[in-house]
Amino acid sequence: FGFPNTWNIRCNLQNTEHTGEVCLEHVKKTAANRKDERQQKVTSSQEHFKECYMELKLGEVLQVQVGTDIIDRMTTPTVKLLYINPFFEVCLEHARNPTMCFSRDVCDSSKSVYQDYKEYQKIWRRLCQMDTAYNAVEENNSVILQDVEITWTTQDKKNEENLKGFFQMTQTQKKEWHLEFDLTNCFLCIRWKGQHLGKEEVKQKKHHNGSGFPDLEDPLPITWVAHGVAFKSKKEEDEEENNKQSHNIKIQFQINHQSMTANPKEIFDTGTKFTVEVIPKKIPYMLRENAVAKIKHANDLVKSIAIGNISNEPLKSDHLPSEDHQTLTLPPLNKSQNRAVQKALQNPFTVIQGPPGTGKTVVGLHITYQFYLKNKTCQKHMPKKQKEEPKKRAILYCGPSNKAVDIVAEQLMNLRGVLKPLRIYCDQMEMREFPYPGSDLKLCRKSLRDEKPKKKLR
């Protein structure tokens, strides 16, 4: 790193004895000016956020915090923190390796067949946690909370693996700060600024440092960084199921990773203020984690699919109804597609695979229509005298993306005289298409990049 004009000054003073002192003085003055500029440009526009500006020029010196990582079985220095200004820094450690910071290492790989659902759950729980951590950090939608007081509840404060704690927030603060995500189920980057080395460590540094510049010998304050995962207690899960909402939100967490080997005693003092970067989990990945965690309560079909032990015995010999598909404006089926539809009707679980352009979407349309006919037939044969009115049978068609489902929905719209299709979007898409005053929903950047729904599907 270097400052502007430092090289020119050094060239002009190369024949003098005080080159180092002059360059160091120039660096200190320039750094002080840059620091004053950055401090002046930090403004508090509103209570719940601050705007930070930073101008970078060629030769600009950036303040960073360096640690070590194991790369290719060698201890290598790496940049852990980038200081933007005295009030804000960027953690490059979890941005570079989110799976290491927010999930445990996975030793077991996935299998084709598992002994039971417990083995499946053990392996895929960790795999899902890694995927959730990676995609949450990649979303780049974190929130910085300043001056947070943390209460540490762990017994062994020297052991980072057992380091646990919590902090609280009121429902009013959450609403005013527009925090729509679940604070009790997210990732946390906890930082404490202003830590100095102890006296003994300073003496050792000065003893080993042979330079004659006292400015380079004085240790700079460092930042303690720890990465944790928030979790819910049994009581909070019960309250959530019963739709009970307390006045205060208690965010409990467990430290998963920290690069420093020792925890400074100051972080356990009462009144110590922390900076907490809250990284929300994406909803689809949270649902997947919950599905794996609750597979114990799933039916036998779901468990057999998970462990890879599916007995696809035909339920009964169902054939395609003799209705004219041409009048329904459905694309015709070839022999292979017709066979796939027949198997899907006969078996409780079917996987239809094929490269792009082989007509999987057409097969999906026909399967949807055939299940509609099956539901219609079952509805007719149900007993008329019942105490409770039976629930209407419905078909749920899901896809990997909005575009994939829109293609199918557009085709199903041609059957509106027969079917009653309903296209369901996420809250973000609905809010963008049908905004209303007073909504607390905050649009994320990714939803603004997504394609808009087609007008035909409205």
369: domain CATH number? 3.40.50.300
Instruction: Indicate whether 211 belongs to any domain.
Output: no
Window from 122-131, 305-314, 377-386 with minimum mean pLDDT:
377-386
pLDDT tens, 264-293? 888 998 889 999 999 999 988 999 999 999
Are 225 and 330 within one domain? no
Helices (H), 183-299: 199-208, 214-217, 234-241, 283-293
Are 327 and 287 within one domain? no
Containing structural domain, residue 377: 317-382+391-457
Instruction: Indicate whether 87 belongs to any domain.
Output: yes
Are 234 and 331 within one domain? no
Residue of higher predicted confidence among 456 and 218:
456
Question: Is residue 142 scored above 80 in pLDDT?
Answer: yes
Are 61 and 190 within one domain? yes
Kindly report the CATH number assigned to the domain that includes residue 171: 2.40.30.230
Q: Which tokens go with 208?
A: 């080993």
Q: By three-state DSSP, how is residue 168 classified?
A: strand
Residue of higher predicted confidence among 166 and 382:
166
Instruction: Indicate whether 373 belongs to any domain.
Output: yes
Q: CA 423, CA 154: separation in Å to the nearest integer?
A: 48
Question: Residue 430: which pLDDT band, with cuts at 50, 70 and 90?
Answer: confident
Q: What's the structural domain count of the chain?
A: 2
Are 360 and 231 within one domain? no
Instruction: Indicate whether 116 belongs to any domain.
Output: yes
**Taking the model in full, what pTM does it have?**
0.75
Are 281 and 377 within one domain? no
Are 128 and 272 within one domain? yes
Are 321 and 286 within one domain? no
Question: Is residue 42 scored above 50 in pLDDT?
Answer: no
How far is Cα of residue 205 from the mean position of the Cα atoms in its chain?
A: 40
Are 150 and 260 within one domain? yes
Are 352 and 281 within one domain? no
Instruction: Indicate whether 37 belongs to any domain.
Output: no
Instruction: Indicate whether 368 belongs to any domain.
Output: yes
Window from 17-21, 104-108, 134-138 with minimum mean pLDDT:
17-21
pLDDT tens, 175-220? 888 888 889 999 999 999 876 555 555 555 555 555 555 555 556 6
- Identify the domain boundary among 291, 309, 337: 291
Mode of pairing for the β-strands spanning 64-71 and 74-85: antiparallel
Instruction: Indicate whether 284 belongs to any domain.
Output: yes
The DSSP result for 237-262, as a single string, is HHHHHTT---SEEEEEEEEEE-S-SS
Are 233 and 350 within one domain? no
- Identify the domain boundary among 254, 276, 291: 291
> pLDDT value at position 191?
95
Are 280 and 340 within one domain? no
Q: By three-state DSSP, how is residue 204 classified?
A: helix
Instruction: Indicate whether 312 belongs to any domain.
Output: no
